[in-house]
């Protein structure tokens, strides 16, 4: 049997040699810059077939080092063809994940330092910077002071944390809300806990409820309608909670959304907050998409009533020029939150933690390990400032208004839901709802197959509609107008062939 050989210091240093790192990093940066230079030339939605990559790459792993030049050649020839280009200016699907120069540089610093900042002592600057930028963001959104860190180093009060996504944030708040109730009524009563949202609430809520042990029968997805703008109705929530209490169940968690994924609906926080307060439920505000827009004074009113909430989250990587991943979560009662998520193993004990004057962010999330996300957000905030960030948001909203007017000017189409923020829901007209749904499914497929743009769909109150979400950093008015031209042409072809298709 071969015995391991030692690696001397000189050989080991080559694994992270400053000069070699600089040379190879420059090649990678040039490669990425060239990718962005030509990004409009790629089909937005990848046209590859399932299993394409296994047919191109070797069946076995490499045994000897390969050059960065060879690796990047394979990235160009094998990986890029299999990418859906989320940063393309012609990407109008889902919600975008923003990129920016400052976001990239922040990611470079985060990856360059490569620290694991799970508690204060593991990297004090990382913890303290995170608390600072979370308070900066709270100030920009004009959140109530209760969501910010106490200035007197008190051991209780509010505060914020950076997660990877709203999915994590919702699971953590569900855990905190669950334990808060069960500590009073007994942990054997978990089968009685009920979660509430609307049929437009992100599926993360239902998934999170299952993860934390809530019975699927105790998940309430309350219907919305066209007449109410697809908003979650407080009276419907109140009736559902009252009915559940009469059955011996316990309402414990209500999720309100600012900017639903399907149609961008905004739930009425003020009235929902009063209902949650009446029944003792935890109110979480999911502003994953539209939260970024709330830094603009003209959109801030959507947060009216947020003082009734127990927690608020938003994804900065969607619309805030902050590269993936970066989600803000604010908690009003951090004592309850931390107690539900904290562990204190011997190997992490230290004097800073025991003096209770520092934050240990390991107790604010699911995992132990965590990235230095705050330095990325810090760079974005400093490089652009609130004025430039507002300009970015307003520009995308104006582009959505341009697209909305284009839709309204074509008698073959209709705007299918009220435009909110930078997303327009629309559909091609036809006789009969089944006929119309089938026609729009065909239109979606035809448009995306061109490779010139990528859009997605939703169904709200039984209505199938197409979503045109604007938010990619590189998108300009010319891209919006060119996309509409493609949509119109594909619609013309479909209507010509309609008898054979439907």
Higher pLDDT, 18 or 424: 424
Cβ neighbours, 10 Å, residue 244: 19
Q: Which long-range contacts (CB under 8 A, 24 or more apart) does 185-191 make?
A: 185/250, 189/250, 190/214, 191/215, 191/218
How high is the pLDDT of residue 453? 97
The rounded mean pLDDT for the chain is 93
Phi-psi map region of 139: left, alpha, beta (phi>0 left; psi -120 to 50 alpha): alpha
Cβ neighbours, 10 Å, residue 128: 14
Asked whether the CA dihedral 353, 357, 360, 363 is positive or negative, the reply is: positive
Cβ neighbours, 10 Å, residue 348: 15
Mean pLDDT, residues 72-101 taken together? 95
- 470, two tokens: 């604007």
Instruction: Report how far residue 86's alpha carbon sits from residue 36's, in angstroms, rounded to the nearest whole number.
Output: 11
Say if CB 195 and CB 170 are below 8 A apart.
Answer: no
Map tokens 């054979």 to a residue.
Answer: 500
Label residue 295 by pLDDT band (50, 70, 90).
very high
Instruction: Report how far residue 341's alpha carbon sits from residue 438's, in angstroms, rounded to the nearest whole number.
Output: 47
pLDDT per position as a tens digit, 437-485 = 899 999 999 999 999 999 999 999 889 999 999 999 999 999 999 999 9
Label residue 7 by pLDDT band (50, 70, 90).
low
Chain centroid to CA 482? 27
pLDDT per position as a tens digit, 109-125 = 999 999 998 898 889 99
Say if CB 370 and CB 117 are below 8 A apart.
Answer: yes
Write down the pTM of the prediction: 0.92
Is the per-residue pLDDT at 433 higher than 60?
A: no
Instruction: Report how far residue 390's alpha carbon sits from residue 68's, in angstroms, rounded to the nearest whole number.
Output: 39
Higher pLDDT, 7 or 296: 296
Say if CB 92 and CB 470 are below 8 A apart.
Answer: yes
CA dihedral 401, 407, 409, 413 (to 10 degrees): -160
How high is the pLDDT of residue 223? 95
- Residue 164 phi/psi, 5-degree rounding, is -80, -35
How high is the pLDDT of residue 351? 86
Label residue 175 by pLDDT band (50, 70, 90).
very high
DSSP labels for 192-236? GEEEEEETTS-THHHHHHHHTT--GGGEEEE---GGGTTPPPHHH
Instruction: Report how far residue 165's alpha carbon sits from residue 62's, in angstroms, rounded to the nearest whole number.
Output: 34
How high is the pLDDT of residue 8? 59
How high is the pLDDT of residue 497? 82
How high is the pLDDT of residue 181? 96
How high is the pLDDT of residue 344? 87
Is the per-residue pLDDT at 3 higher than 80?
A: no
Mean pLDDT, residues 77-89 taken together? 96
- Residue 458 phi/psi, 5-degree rounding, is -150, 165
Q: CB under 8 Å to 23, separation ≥6 — which residues? A: none
DSSP labels for 130-188? HHHHHHHHHHHHT--GGGS--TT--SSS-EEEEES-HHHHHHHHHHHHHHHHHHHH-GG
- 351, two tokens: 């004097």
Mean pLDDT, residues 260-271 taken together? 96
Cβ neighbours, 10 Å, residue 347: 5
Label residue 6 by pLDDT band (50, 70, 90).
low
Say if CB 467 and CB 93 are below 8 A apart.
Answer: yes
Instruction: Report how far residue 371's alpha carbon sits from residue 163's, in angstroms, rounded to the nearest whole number.
Output: 9
Say if CB 292 and CB 254 are below 8 A apart.
Answer: no
The CA–CA distances, whole Å, from 491 to 43, 404, 417, 463, 494 equal: 20, 17, 20, 19, 5
Q: Which three-class secondary structure state does DSSP give residue 395?
A: helix
How high is the pLDDT of residue 356? 85
Mean pLDDT, residues 296-305 taken together? 97
How high is the pLDDT of residue 37? 95
Q: Which three-class secondary structure state does DSSP give residue 460?
A: strand
pLDDT per position as a tens digit, 313-337 = 999 999 999 999 999 999 999 999 9
Mean pLDDT, residues 384-388 taken together? 96
Is the per-residue pLDDT at 501 higher than 90?
A: no
Label residue 348 by pLDDT band (50, 70, 90).
confident
How high is the pLDDT of residue 153? 54
Mean pLDDT, residues 185-209 taken together? 96
How high is the pLDDT of residue 2? 56
Instruction: Report how far residue 174's alpha carbon sits from residue 96's, in angstroms, rounded to the nearest whole number.
Output: 26
């Amino acid at each position: 049997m071969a015995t391991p050989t030692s690696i001397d210091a000189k050989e080991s240093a080559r694994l992270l040699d400053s000069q070699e790192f600089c040379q190879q990093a420059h090649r990678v940066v040039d490669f990425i810059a060239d990718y962005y230079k030509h990004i409009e030339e790629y089909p937005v939605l990848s046209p590859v077939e399932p299993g394409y990559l296994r047919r191109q790459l070797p069946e076995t792993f490499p045994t000897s080092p390969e050059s960065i030049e060879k690796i990047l050649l394979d990235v160009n020839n094998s990986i890029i063809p299999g990418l859906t280009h989320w940063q393309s200016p012609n990407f109008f699907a889902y919600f975008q994940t923003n990129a920016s120069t400052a976001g990239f540089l922040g990611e470079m610093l985060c990856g360059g330092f490569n620290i694991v900042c799970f508690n204060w002592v593991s990297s004090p600057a990382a913890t303290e910077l995170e608390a600072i930028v979370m308070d900066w963001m709270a100030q920009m959104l004009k959140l109530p002071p209760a969501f910010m860190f106490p200035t007197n180093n008190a051991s209780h009060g509010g505060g914020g944390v950076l997660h990877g996504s709203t999915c994590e944030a919702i699971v953590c708040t569900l855990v905190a809300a669950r334990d808060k109730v069960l500590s009073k009524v007994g942990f054997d009563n978990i089968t009685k806990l009920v979660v509430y949202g609307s049929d437009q609430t992100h599926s993360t809520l239902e998934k999170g409820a299952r993860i934390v042990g809530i019975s699927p029968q105790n998940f309430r997805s309350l219907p919305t309608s066209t007449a109410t703008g697809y908003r979650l109705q407080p009276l419907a929530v109140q009736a559902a909670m009252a009915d559940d209490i009469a059955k011996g169940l316990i309402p414990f968690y209500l999720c309100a959304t600012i900017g639903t994924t399907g149609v961008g609906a905004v739930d009425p926080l003020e009235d929902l907050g009063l209902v949650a307060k009446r029944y003792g439920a935890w109110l979480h505000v999911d502003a994953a998409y539209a939260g970024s827009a709330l830094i603009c004074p003209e959109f801030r009113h959507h947060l009216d009533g947020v003082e009734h909430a127990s927690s608020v989250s938003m994804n900065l990587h969607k619309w805030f020029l902050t590269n993936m991943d970066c989600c803000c979560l604010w908690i009003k009662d951090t004592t309850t939150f931390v107690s539900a998520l904290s562990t204190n193993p011997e190997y992490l004990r230290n004097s800073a933690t025991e003096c209770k004057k520092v934050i240990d962010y390991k107790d604010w999330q699911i995992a132990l390990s965590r990235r230095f996300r705050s330095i990325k957000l810090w760079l974005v905030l400093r490089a652009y400032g609130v004025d430039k960030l507002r300009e970015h948001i307003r520009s995308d909203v104006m582009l959505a208004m341009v697209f909305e007017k284009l839709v309204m000017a074509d008698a073959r189409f209709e705007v299918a839901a009220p435009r909110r923020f930078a997303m327009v829901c629309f559909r091609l007209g036809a006789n009969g709802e089944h006929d119309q749904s089938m026609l729009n499914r065909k239109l979606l497929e035809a448009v995306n197959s061109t490779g010139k743009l990528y859009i997605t769909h939703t169904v709200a109150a039984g209505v199938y509609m197409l979503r045109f979400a604007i938010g990619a950093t590189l998108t300009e008015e010319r891209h919006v107008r060119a996309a509409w031209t493609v949509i119109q042409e594909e619609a013309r072809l479909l209507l010509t062939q309609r008898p054979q298709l439907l």
